[in-house]
Amino acid sequence: MTFLGLIYEQLFVKPTYPTTSCAGQTIIVTGSNVGLGKEAARHFARLGASKLILAVRNTKAGEAAKHDIESTTRCSPEVIEVWPLDLSSYASVKAFADRASELPRLDVLLENAGIAAVKWQVFEGHESTLTVNVISTFYLALLLLPKLKSSAKQFGIKPRLTIVSSAVHAQAKFAEWKEPKIFDALDNESKFDVWERYPLSKLLEVLVVRQIAPGVEGSGVILNILNPGLCHSELARDAGWPLTVMKFFLARTTEVGSRTLVAAAVAGPEAQGKYMHNGKVDESVVSPFVKSEDGKLAAEKVWKELSAILEAIQPGVTSNL
């Protein structure tokens, strides 16, 4: 998309206010104590979700979000639960998934939590953005796929597995895809490019979703990925004044941005394996690299390596696909 196109969309395109009922649904939103996740959760509560799980690393902040959502939507206090989930720890991801697997049903797993790290840090042996935005995100997805699939069969529903990505995936150069081992190259601190890393993590999400989508096809689960647009939130709070200025002029409110998350979480079969933009399926804005032959090769390589990482965390987990 051109810069002018971006300005136009940010200022004049408003995703539709969500009205699809979520009555009877059990919905998990990761990273829902603040930002887009919290506003999406507020919509789900208003739309009548029966159980809404705020999956957060800071449960005190999660409880504050629960009370805030309850006071604005007047949903019953039994609807919202706050569960601990820290994507920087595989043990936390596993504990969360084990607990969620005991739920009677699961209609939506909305994987929204993410970071835009401004310095080098290592979680679980990998650079922090890779661990949180990519490895743990897909680890959780694979751990809960069986629950989503069984819910589809048992209740005749179409559960959604929705990943929050970004239009900035198109800005990543991703020269490392040609390296013999992509994740090793990305975990090399001496070559760490702090400005490249967040867009790159969002690109990896897009590549992986496209790679695993055929495996999810036919299971009854709808897997999709979305771009919320530039929105006000806590993300990149330390990224400096250029982003602050850009957000001041162009950013959507958090509520308006969150509509795109809800749109993907209620989308129909047309969204299977697809990229959503402004609340609609729109593959035209997926980056040219992703759609190129090189992009397809890169997706295969990334998934092969990510599968090996996930299998090392938990043998057999990729067979949940």
187 φ/ψ sector (left φ>0, alpha ψ -120 to 50, else beta) = alpha
Report how far Cα 194 is from the mean position of its chain's Cα atoms.
20
Contact 126, 120 (CB under 8 A): no
Nearer to ligand NAP, 114 or 273 (CB): 114
Which positions ≥6 away from 192 have C-beta within 8 Å?
120, 127
- Shortest spacing between CB 189 and ligand NAP, in angstroms: 20
Which positions ≥6 away from 284 have C-beta within 8 Å?
none
CB atoms within 10 A of CB 127: 21
DSSP lists the bridge partners of residue 82 as: 54
- Shortest spacing between CB 7 and ligand NAP, in angstroms: 15
Query: How many residues does this entry show for the chain?
Result: 321
- Shortest spacing between CB 44 and ligand NAP, in angstroms: 15
Q: Is 8 a catalytic residue?
A: no
DSSP 186-241: HT-GGG--HHHHHHHHHHHHHHHHHHHHHHHTTSSPEEEEEE--SB-SSTTTTS-H
Per CB under 6 A, residues contacting ligand NAP are 31, 33-37, 56-58, 61, 85-88, 112-115, 132, 164, 166, 228, 230-231, 233-235
SS3 state of residue 82? strand
Among candidate residues 38, 66, 158, 202, the one labeled active-site is 202
- Shortest spacing between CB 304 and ligand NAP, in angstroms: 24
C-beta nearest to ligand NAP: residue: 35
Distance (Å, rounded) from C-alpha 298 to C-alpha 21? 39
DSSP conformational letter for 254: H
Among candidate residues 165, 166, 201, 258, the one labeled active-site is 165
- Shortest spacing between CB 313 and ligand NAP, in angstroms: 15
Which positions ≥6 away from 263 have C-beta within 8 Å?
15, 16, 18, 226, 276, 279, 280
Structure tokens at 71: 């006071």
Nearer to ligand NAP, 58 or 314 (CB): 58
Q: Is 88 a catalytic residue?
A: no
Q: Is 202 a catalytic residue?
A: yes
Nearer to ligand NAP, 124 or 149 (CB): 124
Nearer to ligand NAP, 14 or 296 (CB): 14
- Shortest spacing between CB 293 and ligand NAP, in angstroms: 27
Among candidate residues 32, 198, 201, 219, the one labeled active-site is 198
Nearer to ligand NAP, 152 or 172 (CB): 172
Nearer to ligand NAP, 61 or 185 (CB): 61
Nearer to ligand NAP, 95 or 157 (CB): 95
- Shortest spacing between CB 299 and ligand NAP, in angstroms: 19
Return the biggest CA–CA distance within the chain.
Answer: 54
Q: Which residues are catalytic?
A: 165, 198, 202
